[in-house]
Amino acid sequence: MKRREFLVSSAMGTVGAAVGHERLTGMTREAQARPPVRKILIAGGGFGEAFIRYMGMLTGKERPRLCYLPTASADSQSGTISWFRSCAPLNVTPFVQESFIASTRQDKGWDEVLLSMDGIVCSGGNTLNQQAIWKAQGIDVVLKQAWDRGIVLGGASAGSLCWFEEGTTDSRPKVLSTVQCLGFLKGSHSPHYDREPGRRPLYQKLIGSGEMKPGYACDNDAGIYFEDNTVRRVVSTRADAKVYYVSVVGGRVVERVMEPERIA
């Protein structure tokens, strides 16, 4: 090869390498700039061992740190015991963050605890009280930060309803009513769709009249995995448990069955 040809070839090789490096660096920067996937796993009722195992898988961690947040149950001790029992056979590290606390016995803020977790499971119970306490304490703000960071959120009953804009609740005396929630997931939600007789007719009535936005109804033992606001998977731990999307089509209320996959 002549000297001139060699110099041109060398220069082109240097430029090519530089361009390749720039493309690779640009792709790396783009990947780094891409926001984490926001994940929520809900069940209509019964967030037991199978759902906890699935949440652990969704974190992508070998032994994920999962925190139980039992605000809706007024920090029920029986719920906490059930949580540790459900986690015992799983490859997870379980924690509990109570809401009825005193600064004399808790020296970490809500953010220090919750944002150090890989997943957060919210208990069932009184959704209205749960929302009021979270807002008074600023826990709602921390949960939004957790969601935005890709920490997997979830739960059943009040622990599923809390993530939506609105839904049906038994949080008040005498009759089922409506509740406004965090609004991470757009639309409405009805848990316990097959177990509490008043749930289905009320949910259909509210959506049919336009008083409530269309949304997702879940039987006990059935649930949905969302990424952002997209349904990625419908799951259940019981053969006849279903999930429905309830909306108005042609002037009438329609339940569209979303067949779940079994998880164990």
Find out whether 237 and 264 touch, Cβ atoms under 8 Å.
yes
- Same domain (yes/no): 2, 79: no
d(CA 167, CA 196): 15
Residues 6+ positions from 16 with CB-CB distance below 8 Å = none
Q: Which residues of 183-201 are buried (b: 16+ CB within 10 A; e: fewer)?
A: ebbebbbbbbbbebeebbe
Domain that holds residue 142: 37-262
Find out whether 47 and 56 touch, Cβ atoms under 8 Å.
no
Tell me which of 99, 171, 190, 192 is the catalytic residue: 192
- 209 belongs to the catalytic site: no
Specify the number of domains making up the chain: 2
- Same domain (yes/no): 178, 98: yes
d(CA 84, CA 76): 13
- Same domain (yes/no): 119, 189: yes
- Same domain (yes/no): 226, 128: yes
The helix (run of H) or strand (run of E) holding residue 264 is: none
- Same domain (yes/no): 236, 168: yes
Q: What is the pLDDT of residues 206-231, one digit of tens each?
A: 999 999 999 999 999 999 999 999 99
- Same domain (yes/no): 254, 194: yes
d(CA 94, CA 63): 10
- Same domain (yes/no): 99, 23: no
CA 40 to chain CA centroid, Å, is 2
- Same domain (yes/no): 12, 141: no
Q: What is the pLDDT of residues 119-178, one digit of tens each?
A: 999 999 999 999 999 999 999 999 999 999 999 999 999 999 999 999 999 999 998 889
- Same domain (yes/no): 216, 103: yes
- Same domain (yes/no): 132, 208: yes
- 160 belongs to the catalytic site: no
Determine the pLDDT at residue 33. 73
Q: What is the pLDDT of residues 20-35, one digit of tens each?
A: 554 545 555 655 678 8
Determine the pLDDT at residue 32. 62
Query: Could you tell me the CATH number of the domain that includes residue 115?
Result: 3.40.50.880
- The token duo for 229 is 């606001």
Tell me which of 86, 99, 123, 157 is the catalytic residue: 157
- Same domain (yes/no): 121, 22: no
d(CA 164, CA 181): 6
